[in-house]
Structure 1
Amino acid sequence: MGKDANENKQKKGLTLSWHNLSVWVEKKDEDKSNWFKVRYYDCKILRKVSGIAKPGELMSIMGPSGAGKTTLLATISQRLIGGVKGKILVNGKKIDKELMLKISGFVAQHDLATEILTVYEHLQFMARLKLHRHLTNEERTLRILSMISEMGLVDIKYSRLSNISGGEKKRVSMAVQLLTDPSILFCDEPTTGLDSFSAFSIVEQLRRIAATGKAIICTIHQPASGMFEMFDHIYFLVAGGRVSLDCNVTEAAEYLRNVGIVCPPSYNFAEFLVSKLAIGDDAESQIRVNKLCRYYRESKDYENLLKNLEIEQSYGREIMITETPVKFTDSICKPSSDFGKYLAMKRPKHSTQLSWLLWRASLELIRKPQQHILRFALYLLMALVISTPYTEINVDQEGIQNIQGFLYLVIVETTFTFTYSVVHTFPAELAVMMREVGNGIYSPGPYYISKLIMLLPRAVIEPAFFSIITFCIPGLFGGLMGFFLFCIPVIMCSIAATSYGCLISSVFDNIEKGSMFSVPYEQVALLFCGIYLSLSDVPFHFAWVKYVSIFYYGIEALSILQWSFIFNIPCSSTPDRPCINSGNGVLEHFGYSKSNFTMDMLGLLSIYCCCHVVGFIFIWKKCKRNTSY
């Protein structure tokens, strides 16, 4: 802080500053909440904190657990979704989140990625979606190879992400964020979980990156001995989201000595600092921390910070906008003189995003076939299990129930198989998707469409094989044409079931919550499918329920196809037993209509479309609501 404040204006690069920043989040009030109404209270995380990060500087945000380090990092990078009060400026100008995503990179503590890809493929995917859309393939490839070389990834570039070490994964994450050559880099706990050698290697790499003129801001919980001195600047938060220390690393020991806190020669200074500035159960620690916070507010460092912040704001007011390629507003300024390189960057078109998302999903499918093969094998096994008892069905009064029971099993097995195969896999992908959407890599629309497309081949091919077994073993009616017609409702049910699975996964955060909705719905849908309850006997005010049942549409369609080929059914030899003497009579008995086949297919198509529309809306809302760090 002792440096001349006017250096800001001479240094090339972007300077990030935050002014009187307060952050609060809503937390559930367990005492006042009940089954009918959930009550929340505001929990303040940061309290009027200010700071500045300059180009060419490696800043460390330190503090005990719960002090608000990650919250501050997420707030100043505009990735936090919550209540924020104060100013966040870049070169003295307020910018929007879209521009912040372009000028900065964010290396999360826990990186989420598709680990079946190799390092090179992962960087290739990210480069295609992060870099300017008008770059040539040669320019992108050159950028990828440059980052692989700079980050020391040459030896592992063809290794899958799942097979590399934690330190290597961290370097890959940094390479991804540096692809666009951002002026500001945020790193959340970059050394957590790494051995001392890997941790030192990462911090040394960050020092080299900062030397190129980038402002780098890291949260560090407790750096190892010797690592603390590798940072240029320390910004220390204490419990309650207050600043207690903001100075150059070389000045920190002298600063603490002035308030009576002296680190013994044999101690790790960073560990000593955290232990002394943590608030425990004793009153002494509370008094000590409060004293230090007051001292900071009265210090020359704080006075210099305020001067620097004022210079930043005045510098921002002086900047002239020389180009006006976009419309500007009074509240959000985009000065081309400072941000021209980033303003010129255009995101890839949605079609490009879709094609690369399909490319990644296809690689994942090809390289992880075991799960799909096993599920397909079990599906075909179930076809054998449910078909074998119905071998050579007789068309008589007893055979009516047998055939209907078999058709019921075909539809129910298909619907449940495809619904829950999606429910058990889709949620695992959502965390990666929301992180990547939040970082501006692609939009929710292309992702959802890619998911929809990737589900279709399996929903068509597998039911076709399933239909071969279930049609041939019991000897259903209609010959070759009857078989092809039989496939249509089974395939349509599987397609509708995948959309229903996507809906459950999109609305609910986990399978347990989803089951609370899906199980009752499925019970009601089964009740009104026509097997347990004759649809002709359903009261008028419940007649509509069948129209939201996949089972109803599927079973009615198969029933129409099977019984349309049967014109004569012999009556039972027992005179007192009722007799249904034709296929049309069977359809009427169960409340089905021979003319409803087309309507059934349209009904399944409607369920497919409605589930995906509602599912996408929930995905889109989750992306808007959830944080991306």
Structure 2
Amino acid sequence: MIVSVEIYHAVPSRTILKSVNGRFAAGELSCIMGPSGAGKSSLLNSLSGYNYKGVSGTLKLNNQIRDEKLFRKLSCYIMQEDKIQPMLTLNEVMMFAAELKLSNGTLTKEKQMIVTEIQNVLGLSESKNTRTEFLSGGQKKRLSIALELINNPPIIFLDEPTSGLDNVSSTYCLQLLRGLAHQGRTIVCTIHQPSASMFQLFDHVYVLSQGYCVYQGSTDQLVPFLSTVGLHCPLTYNPADYIIEATDGEEQENIDKLASAMANGKQSLCKTRDINNCYLTEDTTKVSELLLPELNGNVVTSKLLPLPPINYIAGDEVDNDEDDDVVKPGNTWCVDFPTSGWSQFCTLWKRMILQLYRNKIGLNIQFYHHLICGLAVGIVFYDKANDGTQFFNHMKFCMGNILFHTFTQSMVQVLAFPSEVKLLKQEYFNRWYSLRPYFLALQLSRVPSIIFFSSIYTALVYFMSGLPYELLRFSMFNIICLLVCFVSEGMGLLVGSVFNVT
């Protein structure tokens, strides 16, 4: 699969990408590099479709204009920050991902086999029963890649995959991506300034500076190309460091010369092999052996699942007027999501319940918060609610209970939901699930804990305040408090999704 691009990206204050052109072929590990502020992340966001604001231009797959909805099903975007559920084990996270990303017709045993295979290939099998919060930075990055490999996308975008990793982990991560790319995938990542050894792992390099493409081609052609424009890289110098220093913001003359020589990305200095034949067809989707060097120096031979045939890219037409939920014969990529809404809801609800009730610290804080506040309010209004003539005491008692439930439930979501939104954005963008099952599961997963903790508080304040010991009145009081809790939680979700207060 060949991705061709011509993009112009502008924001109200300045132009970030200036009509750059480029090409990323299947079977190659490609990197976008350049100085800080060169437009690397902006280009990657435009390529993946993560951010269209202020972007104009064309993006083609195998010389065909990209269908945005189909492209999102064929690709995945792994962001710089590893967003993973912290309370789940590595194997549980991958199994939940398999439940969401693989079709309902796939048996659980088959899903586990796929998960196990990916764990073995990525060197994660020894940590499969470890909670993700205790994984190292390199393991978290490999887990992020593993989660997206479950449905075997042919196009993978990564933003700074080596960020925060040591040299050994960074090298291993790039070797892994290189092996995956050589199976026929199109893998594009951004990287700031790789070492000389890591730089040689890339098959294709796309260098940006001040929004212009100053080089596009293979790593071994970079130094000869620089020599043709009068820039001579010393033999002992890292070519990646040299071109970044040569195209720094203060070197405008070098930027102009390089961008002109590259025709702003229209020219490409490739290896001798013909990349015009890198189209992804059924011939390139056979299972190939993947050789990956382990961290201890041993070489492990493993196999990944074959890439699915993508008839649309090879030239088949797709009728966009048809319902997206209808599966056409011979084209299994026309479904928005691989699983039904009910299946998504059940999987997300189980994941949220498991995550919620493994958070022992959070549960203990809520328990003692409701217990202590209930005792405090009960002591303040002790035996004052049994006198109907004390109107103001009754009003203060009712308002105090309403305010307690309002702030307690809303603040939990205001503080917790912004971090959840980051995970939601990534998983929804990569087409794991739709929003309706997610929010339904989010609301219902909180119901048991809200009922339990609210009942502790209401029982304490009701009986300590001296209200009549009548089941009907106690039930009405409890139900009203619960309704306030549910409304307040919705308010907290609204505020937490709009404003990041953490």
What TM-score, normalized by structure 1, do the two folds share? 0.68
What's the offset of the Cα at 1:491? 2.2
Number of the residue aligned with 2:230: 260
Secondary structure class of the residue paired with 1:226: helix
Residue segments in structure 1 that go unaligned for 5+ positions in a row: 1-13, 26-40, 330-335, 513-629
Structure 1 residue 328 displacement after superposition: 4.1
Instruction: State which of 227, 243, 246 in structure 1 corresponds to 2:213.
Output: 243
Which of 256, 264, 282 is the aligned partner of 1:290?
A: 256
SS at 1:132 equivalent: coil
| Match 1:129 to one of 63, 78, 100 | 100
Pair 1:421 & 2:412 matched:
yes
1:488-507 mapped onto 2 (5 Å cutoff): 488-506=479-497
Distance 1:424 1:215, change over 3 A: closer
Specify the code of the residue in structure 2 equivalent to 1:424: L
- The C-alpha deviation readout for 1:419-459, integer Å capped at 9, x for no partner, is 22222222221111122112211111111111111222233
Cα distance in 1, alignment partners of residues 464 and 315 from structure 2: 80
2:372 is matched with which residue?
A: 381
Matched residue, 1:358? 349
1:56 pairs, out of 27, 45, 54, with 27
The Cα of 1:495 is off from its aligned counterpart by 2.3
Change (3 A) 1:309 1:89: farther
Matches within 5 A, 1:158-557: 158-239=129-210, 241-280=211-250, 285-297=251-263, 301-302=267-268, 321=316, 327-328=319-320, 340=331, 342-343=333-334, 347-393=338-384, 399-506=390-497, 508-511=498-501
**What CA distance in whole angstroms lies between the structure 2 residues aligned with 1:502 and 1:298?**
45
Q: Secondary structure of the residue that 1:347 maps to in structure 2?
A: coil
Code of the residue aligned with 1:85 in structure 2: it is S
* Residues 288, 484 of structure 1: alpha-carbon distance in 2 compared, 3 angstrom cutoff: closer
Q: Percent identity?
A: 29
| Pairing partner for 2:64 from 66, 77, 93 | 93
How far did 1:414 drift? 2.4
| 1:90-113 Cα deviation digits (max 9, x unpaired) | 122223233212222222111212
Q: Report the counterpart of residue 531 of structure 1 in structure 2.
A: none
- Deviation per CA, 1:557-582: give whole Å up to 9, x if none: xxxxxxxxxxxxxxxxxxxxxxxxxx
Q: CA deviation at 1:194?
A: 0.9
Compute the displacement of 1:271 (Å): 1.1
**Alignment partners' CA distance in 2, 1:167 and 1:467:** 47
What is the CA-CA distance between 1:351 and the residue it aligns to? 0.8
Residue number among 9, 23, 38 corresponding to 1:23 in the alignment: 9
Relative contact order higher in (CA < 8 Å, ≥ 6 apart): 2
Is 2:91 aligned against 1:120? yes
C-alpha distance in 2 between matches for 1:234 and 1:473:
72
**Aligned residue identity for 1:364:** Q
Deviation at 1:244, TM superposition (A): 1.0
SS at match of 2:339: coil
Deviations 1:25-73 (A, max 9, x none): 3xxxxxxxxxxxxxxx253221222221222111121111111112112
Provide closer, same or farther for how the CA distance between residues 407 and 296 of structure 1 changes in structure 2, counting only shifts above 3 A. closer
Number of residues of Structure 1 aligned to a counterpart in Structure 2:
466
**Offset at residue 320 of structure 1 (A):** 5.1
SS in structure 2 opposite 1:60?
strand
C-alpha change, 1:226 and 1:390, in structure 2 (3 Å) is closer
Distance 1:484 1:267, change over 3 A: same
Q: 1:232 to 1:403 in 2, by over 3 A?
A: closer
Contact 1:133 1:346 (C-alpha < 8 Å) held by counterparts:
no
- Contact kept? 2:35, 2:248, Cα under 8 Å: yes
- Which residue does the alignment assign to 1:45? 16
Q: Distance in 2 between matches of 1:102 and 1:43?
A: 32
Q: Is the 8 A contact 2:385 2:465 kept in 1?
A: no
Which amino acid in 2 is paired with 1:24? A
Distance in 2 of aligned mates of 1:100 and 1:397: 68
User: Residue 244 of structure 1: SS of its match in structure 2?
Assistant: strand
Secondary structure in 1 aligned to 2:196?
A: coil
Query: How far apart are residue 155 of structure 1 and its match?
Result: 0.9
Compute the displacement of 1:465 (Å): 2.0
What code does the residue aligned with 1:178 have?
L
Aligned equivalents of 1:396, 1:245: Cα separation in 2: 84
Say whether the 8 Å CA contact 2:21–2:266 is kept in structure 1. Answer: no
CA drift of 1:481 comes to 3.7
Deviation string 1:229-267 (CA, Å, 9 cap, x unpaired) is 11112111111x111111221111111111111111222
Distance in 2 separating the partners of 1:227 and 1:363? 39
Checking the alignment, whether the CA contact within 8 Å between 1:387 and 1:406 is kept in structure 2 is no
CA–CA separation in structure 1 for the residues paired with 2:8 and 2:445: 44
Q: 1:409 to 1:346 in 2, by over 3 A?
A: closer
Q: Quick check: which one's helix share is greater?
A: 1
1:144 equivalent among 115, 120, 129: 115
- 2:52 aligned to which of 81, 105, 108: 81
Work out which of the two has the higher radius of gyration on C-alpha atoms and give 1 or 2.
Answer: 1
Q: Which residue of 1 aligns with 2:325?
A: none
* 2:296 counterpart residue number: none
**What runs of 5+ residues in structure 2 fail to find an aligned partner?**
282-310, 322-327
Normalised to the residue count of structure 2, the TM-score between the two structures is: 0.85
In structure 1, the residue corresponding to 2:200 is in which secondary structure? Answer: helix
How far 1:170 moved relative to its partner?
1.0
CA-based RMSD of the aligned residues comes to 3.1
